[in-house]
Amino acid sequence: MAKQRKQAVEKRAPARVRKVVLAYSGGLDTSVILKWLQDVYGCEVVTFTADIGQGEELAPARRKAKLLGVREIHVEDLREEFVRDFVFPMFRANAVYEGEYLLGTSIARPLIAKRLVEIARRTGADAIAHGATGKGNDQVRFELGAYALMPNVRIIAPWREWDLSSREKLLRYAETHGIPVEGRKRKGGAPYSMDANLLHISYEGGVLEDPSFEPEESMWRITVSPQEAPNRPEYVELEYRRGDIVALDGRRMSPARVLAELNRLGGKHGIGRLDIVENRYVGMKSRGCYETPGGTIMLRAHRAMESLTLDREVVALKDDLMPRYARLIYNGYWFSPERRLLQSLIDASQQTVNGTVRVKLYKGTVLVVGRASPSDSLFDARIATFEEDAGAYNQADAAGFIRLNALRLRTAANLARKRGR
């Protein structure tokens, strides 16, 4: 059977694969893929496992790769790069997909694609492989990223080739080939497909495929229920420099430490839960549940900082462009020229986004309670005051302003009245 599958693959893809770099988690899917690549393609497999803050011990992945005969094993801590070069730039844009989703899975994929390509170049591999299915967005994200960085790379996506179309078949394959498999079922027997990194955890599949089903409380991993959150609010002050957070409560922190601490605070107060039906790029609707405690705080605070330091029309332009920027990330176009162009515009807008924002965290909510920017604030209390402004603003000017802006409305109304005669 393995020989037949190998021959079938060779007919579809005549170019022989010598060495492939596999995005490897150590779980059931990618462990089966590792062995399948060895058997069907007859190639050397190099594994790459990224630590992007998923909260799992990565040593087992290394051990399992060795057990399966892998000689070149790459396990890398990418948490700082992930937040500094991907999460922070995205939050400068206030990116939200379809009004709600903070793009936790989407923004991790270009970094993984980038490292896959870099390792392929370094090791002389002529292909890369991933474990994304043919139904999801991740196959698009991985492959668009790889092609943008290595145009002639060969990509192997086993889920689009093999006949192992169910978990049961994967388990049988693993048993047949001596691949150790850890239990992946959640407490209470409810299975979920999970993806975790330093920005979020997502839950899909299983009982969640019924959009009317309310997930049990035990599903959530990093946030407490808002009802069970502390009865006293907690305040935190975020310091911004050119649109990025550089300190919390006066303590300087690296990007990854900032996000980890905001996750801790947000999770403690039940912040950042989301249950949505979203539109996948491949065309279908998908129900997903998400926990993004730190990102939820970051979004609210960043908008507050911009409200103080950005011109009105700059804010409006960013808000106009944001949905398109968010779709580019969701759909896998991080390395596209249009995303890079938008990023340069967004980053230019952030030069004056400096100062502090104070937020109150309480039972699932983030309330902005203060903001200050000694060097870049556009708020002028002399003009905005309801008290005596010593001539800073001439209220009589408003009459002409209103009449000019009403001119088209008055013209249309007069015409409508004439037509009605």
The active-site residue out of 62, 79, 92, 109 is: 109
Q: Provide the pLDDT for residue 56.
A: 86
* Residue 277, in any domain of the structure: no
- Residue 64 falls within a domain, yes or no? yes
Q: What number is the average pLDDT over the span 379-408?
A: 94
- The answer as to whether 175 is a domain residue is yes
In DSSP terms, 288 is beta-bridged to 276
352 lies in a domain?
no
Give domain status of residue 65, yes or no.
yes
Q: Domain for residue 291, yes or no?
A: no
CATH number for the domain spanning 136: value is: 3.40.50.620
Whether the per-residue pLDDT at 12 is higher than 70: the answer is no
Tens digits of residue pLDDT in 181-191:
865 444 444 46
Which domain range does residue 171 map to?
2-184
Tell me whether residue 251 is one of the annotated catalytic residues.
Answer: no
Closest to 373 (Cα-Cα) out of 405, 389, 392, 351: 351
For residue 221, give every residue at least 6 positions away whose Cβ sits within 8 Å of its Cβ, in sequence order, or none.
196, 201, 291
Overall domain count for the chain = 1
Catalytic residue among 51, 138, 195, 244: 138
In a domain, 328, yes or no: no
Q: Are 269 and 294 in contact (CB under 8 A)?
A: no
With a cut of 60, say whether residue 19 has pLDDT above it.
Answer: yes
Point out the least confidently predicted range of 135-144, 319-328, 380-389.
Answer: 380-389
Q: Cα separation of 368 and 358, whole Å?
A: 6
Res 285 pLDDT > 70: yes
**Active site (annotated) includes residue 29:** yes
Mean of per-residue pLDDT scores for the chain: 93
Catalytic (active site) residue 138:
yes
Strand 19-23 versus strand 44-51 pairing type:
parallel
Q: Please compute the mean of the pLDDT values over residues 148-175 and round it to a whole number.
A: 94
Taking the alpha carbons at both ends of the chain, their separation in whole angstroms is 85
In a domain, 10, yes or no: yes
Of the chain, the percentage scoring pLDDT greater than 90 comes to 89
Instruction: Give the whole-angstrom CA distance, residue 23 versus residue 17.
Output: 16
